[in-house]
């Protein structure tokens, strides 16, 4: 027992000893850990101090050279802009000279005397044969497009507001004349309907096409009550009529124009009105001054000259809203105005007449028709755009036909012109004894009319096209009164019903390709580059060489009239928008697309510097651009002088803001965002100087030798796509 107790006692002593040793060991370890932590903290603080000192040194260095770098950048941009401006002026002068030397009678739409003479002579021309009319309409459409390009390329300044207003008035006059001449040609064809009757159907039908329009015309001569509709196989268009129209003296026209002359009436009138207000504020009317000076001189003849000149000047500054209220005043001085200044007045009167005719039809309140209507909705042209032109779906009264009497071909003469056939109609307007159902109010219940069109091959619809018809009273596109829409994807045919005859168009969301999924700008050599934009639906490749660019590829789309064709940036944007492949933003796009909005001035400065370096440096999108806030940009970039794709390891991240630019330590694959400066790098006031520090002699040579026109072309594409905000 005593031995066991002794062993237990020794064991307790040993335990205490072991415990003491363990405590001492733990204390030594804790002390060592504390000393190590202190050393590490001191080292960290020393590194932070050195890093802060280096950071301050680099900031001081950046501030010292900031003005020089900014001045150099401004100088480079000014040189580029001045060179481009001189080149555009020379190109414009050369174009005018070539037009003058052609001597083909084609007017210059920017010269008032020439275009006014053309409009006056064409308005007075009595030629109504369809071939000649279509030829003149094509010429007028080219003049319209030339004026539209001129308006788009001309900066809006106080001095150019009167020219802008005059060009817009000219466009409206040409559009009205095109519409009027086509109606006259349609009337001429219908006058000879019986002579051109198809023996098989007993009716007259014809299809006439040119590069700008397709005219499908059908005249109901047989009045077969079992008639359901007709399909123009050559054009891919067709229509369906209710029995009430099948037994009436009615002609149906489907006129498809490749251009859109209606949307501008909805959105353009407001712009013209605003321009007029600015013009009036900037340029007060000189009429009173001229009259006062004339009265002081007492020269009546000179007073008349002043009044004529002032009336012309004020006429170009009037908004469309004020024209109607001043109509009486203009009629009073009509005899005093030169003929070339009076064509605009006829245009407005004609527009009012057309609107009144359409309003008479649209104001008629038809009974409820057996058709499921789309929810009433006005089309927002900032969100949707008509594609493939406009389809004018009209019904007309058949003009009096010629009759052979005693060997004489006699025809009743009428000066009413082409008359619309009102539909829905009341009972007195139909020429048939067939009984018809009436509602409680005695009005005729009119079934809807159907129409089928083939989507033009010149446009693409990633989604099923929407349909809208033109409201002539409100001057807007609307989905009201359209129902039972069906779309055959394989045949690209769309069919629907309307309660009456209206112009209609096929719509697509302008922002279906936004926001972008990625982008890359890569050099292809001196004055050559490729911009790849991976959009929501397609991927497009833009190739830039010199002052021109082209759409080199667009996945899943076949657009032979756009792909592979060298154009100016503005012409390419216009062609792609018309084709339905839109990757270009507008001032309103941010309202309809969820974007990573950036400060506009910072974004524009980035595009300018990227364009200056685009023949030697590759740029790409970064997922961290959406993590750095509105005031900063994050872009991947690297020098790239060889052909082919950029290796993944070659990319570096750069952060840009209003103060400076620097290379980031982090990589695209990093797990978290950090603004830490990369080792061995410096701060620079501009992206241009930041990247030039990383370039070799060959890259510097390319940037120095870059053509200003190439730089401007790349800049226009970047500004049009705005990849830094929309990706």
Contact at 8 Å (CB) between 444 and 453? no
pLDDT at 712: 96
DSSP 8-state assignment for residue 372: P
* CB crowding 576-597: b at 16 or more within 10 Å, else e: bbbbbbbbbbeeebbebbebbe
Q: Which of 28, 45, 88, 66 is nearest to 569 (CA)?
A: 88
Greatest CA separation for the chain: 161
Say how many residues make up the chain. Answer: 727
Q: What is the 3-state secondary structure (H, E, C) of 156-196?
A: CCHHHHHHHHHHHHHHHHHHHHHHHHHHHHHHHHHHCCCCC
Q: What is the DSSP letter of 49?
A: H
Consecutive H or E run containing 322: helix 320-323
Q: What is the pLDDT of residue 156?
A: 61
* Residue 135: Cβ within 10 Å count: 13
Say if residues 581 and 554 touch (Cβ distance below 8 Å).
yes
- SS3 call for 462: coil
DSSP classification of residue 292: H
Predicted pLDDT at 298:
40
357 phi and psi angles, rounded to 5 deg:
-60, -50
| Mean pLDDT of successive 10-residue stretches along the chain, which has 727 residues | 54 79 85 86 78 78 89 94 91 85 84 93 92 93 92 66 88 94 93 88 93 94 92 95 92 95 73 33 36 39 36 34 37 38 38 39 36 62 94 94 73 80 69 44 72 94 94 93 93 95 96 95 94 94 95 85 92 94 93 92 96 96 94 96 90 94 93 89 92 92 94 96 95
pLDDT in the model for residue 314? 36
Q: For the segment 463-504, what is each residue's pLDDT rounded down to a tens digit?
A: 999 999 999 999 999 999 999 999 999 999 999 999 999 999
Pairing outcome for strands 466-471 and 503-509: antiparallel
> What is the pLDDT at residue 10?
59
R_g of the chain computed on alpha carbons: 37
Query: Looking at residue 5, what is its pLDDT?
Result: 53
In this prediction the pTM is 0.77
Q: Which of 49, 59, 31 is nearest to 681 (CA)?
A: 59
Query: Nearest 10 degrees: CA dihedral of 216, 220, 222, 226?
Result: 90
């Amino acid at each position: 027992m005593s031995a066991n107790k002794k062993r237990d006692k020794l064991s307790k002593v040993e335990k205490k000893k072991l415990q003491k040793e363990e405590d001492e060991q733990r204390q030594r370890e804790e002390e060592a850990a504390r000393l190590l932590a202190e050393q590490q903290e001191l080292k960290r603080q020393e590194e932070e101090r050195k890093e802060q000192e280096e950071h301050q040194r680099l900031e001081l260095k950046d501030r010292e050279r900031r003005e020089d770098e900014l001045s150099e950048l401004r100088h480079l941009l000014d040189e580029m802009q001045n060179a481009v401006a001189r080149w555009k002026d020379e190109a414009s002068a050369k174009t005018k000279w070539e037009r003058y030397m052609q001597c083909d009678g084609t007017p210059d739409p920017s010269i008032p005397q020439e275009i006014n003479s053309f409009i006056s002579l064409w308005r007075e021309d009595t030629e109504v044969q369809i071939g000649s009319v279509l030829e003149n309409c094509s010429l007028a459409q080219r003049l319209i497009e030339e004026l539209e390009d001129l308006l788009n390329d001309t900066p809006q300044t106080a001095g150019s507001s009167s020219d802008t207003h005059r060009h817009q008035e000219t466009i409206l006059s040409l559009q009205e004349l095109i519409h009027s001449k086509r109606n006259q040609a349609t009337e001429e064809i219908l006058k000879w309907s019986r002579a051109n009757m198809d023996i098989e159907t007993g009716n007259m039908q014809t299809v006439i096409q040119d590069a700008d329009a397709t005219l499908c015309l059908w005249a109901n001569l047989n009045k077969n009550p079992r008639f359901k509709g007709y399909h123009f196989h050559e054009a891919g268009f067709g229509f369906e009529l209710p029995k009430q129209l099948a037994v009436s003296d009615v002609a149906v026209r489907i006129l498809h124009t490749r251009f859109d002359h209606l949307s501008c009436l909805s959105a353009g009138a407001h712009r013209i009105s605003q321009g007029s207000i600015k013009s009036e504020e900037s340029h007060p009317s000189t009429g009173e001054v001229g009259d006062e000076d004339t009265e002081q001189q007492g020269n009546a003849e000179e007073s008349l000259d002043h009044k004529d000149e002032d009336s012309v000047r004020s006429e170009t500054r009037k908004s469309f809203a004020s024209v109607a209220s001043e109509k009486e005043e203009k009629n009073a001085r009509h005899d005093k105005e030169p003929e070339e200044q009076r064509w605009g007045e006829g245009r407005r009167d004609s527009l009012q007449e057309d609107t009144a005719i359409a309003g008479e039809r649209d104001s008629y309140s038809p009974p409820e028709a057996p058709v499921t209507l789309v929810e009433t909705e006005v089309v927002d042209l900032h969100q949707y755009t008509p594609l493939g032109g406009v389809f004018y779906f009209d019904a007309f009264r058949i003009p009096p036909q010629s009759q052979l009497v005693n060997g004489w071909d006699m025809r009743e003469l009428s000066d009413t012109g082409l008359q619309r056939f009102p539909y829905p109609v009341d009972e007195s307007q139909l020429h048939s004894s067939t009984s018809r159902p009436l509602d409680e109010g005695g009005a005729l219940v009119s079934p809807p009319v159907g129409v089928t069109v083939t989507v033009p091959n010149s446009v693409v619809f990633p989604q099923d096209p929407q349909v809208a018809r033109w409201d002539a009273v409100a001057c807007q596109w609307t989905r009201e009164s359209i129902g039972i829409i069906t779309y055959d994807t394989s045949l690209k045919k769309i069919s629907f019903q309307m309660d009456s005859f209206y112009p209609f168009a096929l719509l697509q969301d302008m922002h279906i390709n936004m926001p972008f999924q990625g982008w890359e700008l890569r050099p292809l050599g001196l004055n050559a580059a490729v911009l790849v934009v991976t959009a929501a639906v397609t991927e497009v490749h833009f190739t830039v060489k010199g002052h021109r660019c082209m759409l080199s590829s667009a996945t899943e789309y076949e657009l032979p009239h756009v792909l592979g064709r060298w154009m100016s940036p503005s012409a390419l944007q216009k062609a792609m928008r018309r084709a339905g492949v839109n990757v270009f933003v507008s001032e309103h796009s941010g309202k309809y697309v969820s974007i990573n909005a950036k400060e506009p001035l910072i974004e524009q400065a980035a595009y300018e510097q990227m364009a200056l370096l685009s023949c030697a440096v590759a740029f790409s999108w970064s997922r961290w651009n959406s993590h750095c806030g509105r005031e900063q940009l994050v872009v991947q970039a690297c020098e790239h002088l060889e052909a082919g794709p950029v290796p993944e390891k070659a990319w570096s991240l750069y952060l840009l803001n209003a103060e400076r630019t620097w290379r980031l330590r982090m990589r695209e694959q990093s797990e978290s965002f950090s603004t830490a400066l990369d080792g061995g790098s410096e701060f620079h006031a501009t992206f241009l100087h930041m990247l030039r520090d990383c370039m070799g002699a060959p890259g510097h040579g390319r940037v120095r030798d870059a053509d200003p026109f190439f730089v401007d072309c790349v800049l226009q594409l970047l500004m049009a796509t705005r990849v830094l905000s929309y990706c």
